[in-house]
Structure 1
Amino acid sequence: MPPRPLENPAMNPTALPTPAPHLPALLRDCFAAQRAAFTRSRNPGADKRRADLRALHRLLADNREAIVVAIDQDYGCRSRFETLLTELLQGQEAALAAARRVRRWMRPQKRRLDPTQYPLASAYTFAQPVGVVGIVVPWNFPIAMAFQPLICAFAAGNRAMVKMSENSAHLARLLKALAPRYFASDKLAFFADDDAGPGQPLGPLFTQLPFDHLFFTGSPQTGKAVMANCAANLTPVTLELGGKSPAIVAPGFALDKAAERIVWVKMLNAGQICTNVDYLFLPEGSEQAFIAHAQRIAQQRYPDLLGGDYTAIIDQRQYDRLQAMLQDAIAKGARAVPLLPGQAGDVQRRIMAPTLLLDVHEDMQVMQREIFGPLLPILGYRSKEQVRDYINARHHPLALYLYSNDRALQDFYLTETLSGGVSLNDSLIQSGLHNLPFGGVGHSGMGHYHGHEGFLTFSKLRPVFRQSRWRTLDLLMPPYGRRAYQLLNFMLWRNR
């Protein structure tokens, strides 16, 4: 007689984990519906995945203006052009690119066999959906940071629950209203941070769900708490964090060209970018020339700082944090140089004027914490070894930027340092390329997404070995006679 099944699944250590009873019903019910839907359709075909990806594209394209307005309301002032460029265009391109390639990504990949399995057996891998994916979205690029992992998760055949930031309340309400027009809630659901009720942030509760994979973008400090919650369910996690990403201008590189590209990224979204230039290395003696170029370029691009092309700091807490960081540096001896002399910000609208900082040192907050705003410390240096040692003595950054046309110097920094991504002779570009994986290392994150690597992140790459009727291994069975030793010695000789 077979053993009786346990009547209480909670007593069965092999049963799938279920959401804890203390979690809000809206989370538990949605998770249960998505898991049940995944059980009914565990491996959607390429046509279904392409249809889902095109629906994500339509959601963005059909509602472009409403999305722009919602993000502007959340920021108080968000450059319309930057929202269209960095969020809508990026998301639409990524969705269409994945739809074109997903059939190829899904194909089984043949693998070579070990000598003991030649010549009749075969081996291959295929990517299989993992199930229900959780995505926690930051506020700085709320569409890009929601839809880029969503695209990867849907390409991999999964279902998704998405928790928006507390600073994206208008956008969260909009996406909650729009999503049901394109997807059933057992395929995709958005949540606002206040959905659990006033004074009860949803984030810590959301990450306690027993997802099959959790994707989090945010600070390293919050990332640690997310990992702790995921550990209780052994939920695999991808963390996209931050850190202090350096830029290095090499001797001999055109300072005006470096200034053009660094000023662009430092003022984009008012510097509120996880892969932004957090501090800048310049050859000693070139600081004033660089500043002159940077001020000229900034004035050309932003003749009116308050005119709408420049974005506000997201909320009062972040604005106060940045102002305190600036005052701390000045009080400890830094020289503050306005990037736009004569143009002041607007305290009421949280428009913060960009500022360069000279004579910085390690006791200042700007050199201890990720800035995430329009402040740029500048360090003079004398040798490449000095720069290398400084970078390597700190947490691995999410990005590294080198301005140099010297291939040997490029190779030096690429091999002698470690970071998430790298741009040579530019900044930030590597983060927006769909065919380059995006991800940090150590303190700046773990795991990758974008393109094929994102597809693999949300898949189980399942290895399969298919044995033939006859197998070579039978010739190596005991008792070990002369023929077995001859074959073994031949294989050892082949691999000497």
Structure 2
Amino acid sequence: MPTNSAAPHIPEEFQAVFTRQQAAYRQAMNPTLQERQASLRALHRLVTDNADALVEAVNQDYGCRCRFETRFAEVFLAQDAALCAIKELKQWLKPQKRHLDVTQYPLAKAWTFPQPVGVVGVVVPWNFPIAMAFQPLIGILAAGNCAMVKMSENSNHLALLLKEISPKYLPTDKLAFFEDGEGRGPAFTTLPFNHIFFTGSPATGRAVMANAAKNLTPVTLELGGKSPCVVAPDYSIRTAAERILWAKMLNAGQICTNVDYLFLPEDKVEEFIREAAARVNRCFSDINQGDYTAIIDQRSYDRIQATAADAVSKGARIVELYTGPAEDRARRIMAPRIVLGVTDDMDIMQREIFGPLLPIRTYKTRQEVVDYVNARPRPLAFYIYSHDAALQTYYLNHTISGGVGINESVVQAGIHNLPFGGSGNSGMGHYHGHEGFLTFSKLRPVFQQGPVRGLDFFLPPYAGWPTKLLNLMMKMKS
């Protein structure tokens, strides 16, 4: 989404819906609990009633998207998150009392309450397009906002389906979907939204942020990066291999929180390879039969192949894990592979892989791992495989990342009541659960003065009682 001095042309479709949503927001600036719950129920029905059609649309966009993974990691989680928000929303909406300082005693009051921010623009990636559209929408509608959602150009079948069915559940002045293409992305993020929620690459996130800055629009950026994983000497290599390879096979590794490189003790590499190969072949006797997802498009397939070739040309070794029938390259099926002997000058260690390659580095000390991770941009996730509580705490306290998985990979990203969000290069802001509700709310502070005003004791002239009282208060605080 490049930015330049010339403002991009705003499609009439965008502008018309934006204008209607602005008007709808002004007509109902603080929806009731019941109205917000009704919107969430409508969103839940949209997903539930059309689950099969949504799964098939994603499959068409991928060419081959494992239907079980779409149902499990996208449809089911969206259903569950919506129901959880409906249940918890009453508590989220309660005003919160705040303590006053001594000068406001005895009868003043202070509290905060959440209000909708207005019209929110959502930019959705292609890798989990149902989840990445509906998870932020749950927070947006719970907070009482209107939303415009632009899908990815790689999700055209899904975008057209959502555009068709969404008005049956929620009016377009409350929720509207749009397809991408023909430079519509920069135009979308140029609209003066009250908040922009973007999921995608750090490079595109910078462009979105630049467009938003022109309108002083707040942004939540959910980006990516190279998420490290470390397996400690005390942890079972078999279990670690099974859990790490599960993540690498899920969606063919096309997950922003996936393990992007792995630290192993020097003497555990060959055992890990054996266990990883065993796991892959237990899961897929024939990787071409539909349970394994394709790479999204030819450009991405070629990029991952080129990443592997670059590593080999610079001295790395590719370890094939899958031993079944040959991959269907015409359908962009790419089995997981381990890459050994990686160095920092290789593309595989410089850019997010977003595919089924797993580079392995060996290490001797925990400090070596910490120094390597901290010398690089902050990742979206960090994974620690160890039963040693002291070692877990050491890694938690000496690194920073968006989220952490201990003895597990990727799962933390799908837990509704854990905030999801990056740090620095991997993003800013949070969503999911209560944090998502707060992201799309203005937490409005209110102070109500009481019948007796404490500040009257501090009015000028300051000589005399005002000074004596202030001196006494400062002495009590010293």
Structure 1 residues 36-66: Cα deviation after superposition (integer angstroms, max 9, x where no partner): 1111111100000000001100000000110
| Native 8 Å contact 1:262 1:426 kept in 2 | yes
Q: How far apart, in 2, do the equivalents of 1:70 and 1:60 lie?
A: 13
Aligned to 1:97: 84
| Native 8 Å contact 2:225 2:379 kept in 1 | yes
Structure 1 residues 228-247: Cα deviation after superposition (integer angstroms, max 9, x where no partner): 11111111100000000001
The match for 1:390 among 366, 372, 385 is 372
One-letter amino acid of the counterpart of residue 96, structure 2: Q
- Tell me by how many angstroms 1:344 deviates: 3.0
The match for 1:75 among 62, 72, 77 is 62
| Native 8 Å contact 2:47 2:79 kept in 1 | yes
Q: Aligned runs of 1:435-474 on 2, under 5 Å?
A: 435-474=417-456
Structure 1 residues 236-261: Cα deviation after superposition (integer angstroms, max 9, x where no partner): 10000000000100111111111111
Aligned to 1:164: 151
One-letter amino acid of the counterpart of residue 274, structure 1: C
The match for 1:429 among 408, 411, 414 is 411
Q: How far apart, in 2, do the equivalents of 1:33 and 1:90 lie?
A: 30
Q: Aligned runs of 1:180-191 on 2, under 5 Å?
A: 180-191=167-178
Aligned to 1:197: none
Q: How far apart, in 2, do the equivalents of 1:111 and 1:426 lie?
A: 39
- Tell me by how many angstroms 1:314 deviates: 0.3
| Native 8 Å contact 2:198 2:221 kept in 1 | yes
- Tell me by how many angstroms 1:103 deviates: 1.3
Structure 1 residues 162-181: Cα deviation after superposition (integer angstroms, max 9, x where no partner): 00000001001100111010
Q: Aligned runs of 1:38-53 on 2, under 5 Å?
A: 38-53=25-40
SS at match of 2:221: strand
SS at match of 1:168: helix
Q: How far apart, in 2, do the equivalents of 1:389 and 1:162 lie?
A: 40
- Tell me by how many angstroms 1:343 deviates: 4.4
Aligned to 1:6: none
Q: RMSD in angstroms over aligned alpha carbons?
A: 1.0
Q: How far apart, in 1, do the equivalents of 2:265 and 2:341 lie?
A: 14
One-letter amino acid of the counterpart of residue 292, structure 1: R
Q: How far apart, in 2, do the equivalents of 1:371 and 1:343 lie?
A: 25
2:283 matches 1:296: no
Aligned to 2:223: 241
SS at match of 1:126: strand
Structure 1 residues 108-136: Cα deviation after superposition (integer angstroms, max 9, x where no partner): 10001111112211110111101100000
SS at match of 2:329: coil
2:324 matches 1:337: no
The match for 1:139 among 102, 108, 126 is 126
Q: TM-score, normalised by structure 1?
A: 0.94
Structure 1 residues 391-426: Cα deviation after superposition (integer angstroms, max 9, x where no partner): 000000000000011111111111100100001110
Aligned to 1:312: 294
2:93 matches 1:106: yes
After superposing on structure 2, the runs of 4+ consecutive aligned residues of structure 1 that deviate more than 4 Å are none
Q: How far apart, in 1, do the equivalents of 2:234 and 2:472 lie?
A: 58
Aligned to 2:253: 271
The alignment-based identity, stated in percent, is 62
Q: How far apart, in 2, do the equivalents of 1:486 and 1:341 lie?
A: 85
The match for 1:324 among 299, 306, 312 is 306
The match for 1:410 among 392, 396, 401 is 392
Q: TM-score, normalised by structure 2?
A: 0.97
One-letter amino acid of the counterpart of residue 208, structure 1: T
Aligned to 2:328: 346
Aligned to 2:268: 286
| Structure 2 unaligned blocks of 5 or more | 1-6
- Tell me by how many angstroms 1:265 deviates: 0.4
Structure 1 residues 356-395: Cα deviation after superposition (integer angstroms, max 9, x where no partner): 0000001110000000000000000000000000000000
| Native 8 Å contact 2:106 2:452 kept in 1 | no
Q: Aligned runs of 1:139-218 on 2, under 5 Å?
A: 139-194=126-181, 200-218=182-200
Aligned to 1:12: none
SS at match of 1:61: helix
- Tell me by how many angstroms 1:21 deviates: 9.1
| Structure 1 unaligned blocks of 5 or more | 1-19, 195-199
| Native 8 Å contact 1:38 1:131 kept in 2 | yes
Q: How far apart, in 1, do the equivalents of 2:383 and 2:49 lie?
A: 36
Q: Aligned runs of 1:25-36 on 2, under 5 Å?
A: 25-36=12-23
Q: How far apart, in 2, do the equivalents of 1:446 and 1:123 lie?
A: 29
| Native 8 Å contact 1:344 1:353 kept in 2 | no
Q: How far apart, in 2, do the equivalents of 1:113 and 1:95 lie?
A: 36
SS at match of 1:442: coil
- Tell me by how many angstroms 1:429 deviates: 1.1
Structure 1 residues 427-485: Cα deviation after superposition (integer angstroms, max 9, x where no partner): 11110000000000000000000000000100111111111121111111121233223
The match for 1:258 among 240, 246, 251 is 240
Q: How far apart, in 2, do the equivalents of 1:257 and 1:347 lie?
A: 30
| Native 8 Å contact 1:448 1:457 kept in 2 | yes
